[in-house]
Amino acid sequence: MIPRIDDAEAAARALARAESILVITGAGMSAESGIPTFRGPDGLWEGRSVEDVATPEGFARDPAGVWQWYSDRRRNCLQTEPHAGHVALARLEHGHRAPVTIATQNIDGLHRRAGSGDVIELHGSLFTTRCSKCSHQVPEDRAFYSEPPTCEYCGAPMRPGVVWFGEMLPADRLLRAQALSQECDVVLVVGTSAVVQPVASLPLYARHSGATLVEVNPQETPLTPVCHFAFPHAAGEVLPQLVDRALAMVE
């Protein structure tokens, strides 16, 4: 199916009439706030191998160095602000009669800072910390320690609460996102390449279950040909207009 490009009125009507909305966001959403995308030309990983900073093995070799690298990322994220697209999604959640859930691949916390309440952080968060051995979770304030604290239960070093390469997504979060993708009326896919599994399958589950797919992404993705509506523009440009129209139609 060839997507109907820029059919904002019809897409907004689908959002307004929905009884359940799932929003899936990826790195492109954060890039608009100034957070570099993974492996981009100016990417955050450039100059550091993935094996050194984003694997359990890398952390085992140099826990203090990896912890400091993520501390720098936390500081960088806190120096950025949610953009108009983040704020629009929060307005959609609070202004719509239907539940609106965001399932994000991003770890920067920008959705919550923008005011969204129901956020599934599929890849974890920079601002949470867990044990590298027993996975015990600790309060968020420990994420700001200058060195990795030790676990109060087993004594192992604490690590950033993010999903690294070679690790599975948190099962409870993934299962909830999968269930929502098969129950919702509309899936809004924003700023994701639609190639990283298992998240890339969520919109396809939804389409198979009868949901309307709306994509917002300046680049065409493998998902674009199966979407009902595709908007080849930045999220900060499209989402405020789309949400304004949708909320004006909500009864």
Render pLDDT for 65-82 as a digit per residue (tens, 0 to 9). Answer: 999 889 888 888 889 999
State mean pLDDT over 231-237: 94
Q: What is the mean pLDDT of the chain?
A: 89
Domain shared by 86 and 69, yes or no: no
What pLDDT does residue 76 have?
87
Claim to verify: residue 58 and residue 155 sit in the same structural domain = yes
Bigger pLDDT: 24 or 194?
24
Domain that holds residue 132: 37-79+125-162
Same domain membership, residue 23 and residue 134: no
Query: Does 5 have pLDDT greater than 60?
Result: no
Whether 203 and 246 share a structural domain: yes
Order across the sheet with 21-25: list the strands. 4-5, 229-231, 212-216, 186-190, 21-25, 100-104, 119-121
Which entry of 83, 96, 111, 123 is annotated as an active-site residue?
Answer: 123
pLDDT at site 59: 93
Does 228 qualify as catalytic in the annotation? no
Torsion of CA 231, 234, 238, 239, to 10 degrees: 110
pLDDT above 80 (res 36): no
Average pLDDT over residues 165-193: 95
- Percent share of the chain, pLDDT over 70: 90
Co-location of 88 and 190 in the same domain: yes
Q: Residue 3's pLDDT is what?
A: 42
Give 227 or 37, the one with higher predicted confidence. 227
Both 185 and 133 in a single domain?
Answer: no
Confidence of residue 11 (pLDDT cuts 50, 70, 90): very high
- 151 and 75 in a common domain: yes
For position 246, which CATH number holds? Answer: 3.40.50.1220
Are residues 231 and 139 located together in one domain of the fold? Answer: no
CB neighbour list of residue 100: distance below 8 Å, 6 or more residues apart = 21, 23, 89, 92, 93, 118
Determine the length of the chain: 251
What is the rounded CA–CA span in Å between residue 89 and residue 243?
A: 7
231 shares a domain with 185: yes
pLDDT at residue number 72:
86
Q: CATH number, domain at 75?
A: 3.30.1600.10
Q: Do 129 and 209 share a domain, yes or no? A: no
- Residue where a domain terminates, one of 162, 188, 214: 162
User: Can you say how many angstroms the Cα of residue 29 is from the centroid of all Cα atoms in its chain?
Assistant: 8
Q: Are residues 52 and 62 in the same domain?
A: yes
Indicate whether 221 and 236 sit together in one domain: yes
Provide the number of structural domains found in the chain.
Answer: 2
Residue 46 pLDDT > 60: no
Q: Taking a C-beta distance cutoff of 8 angstroms, is the pair 240, 85 a contact? A: yes
Q: Which residue has the higher pLDDT, 107 or 52?
A: 107
End of a domain among 162, 182, 217?
Answer: 162
Span of 44-48, 114-118, 228-232, 241-245 with lowest mean pLDDT: 44-48
187 - beta bridge partners? 22, 213
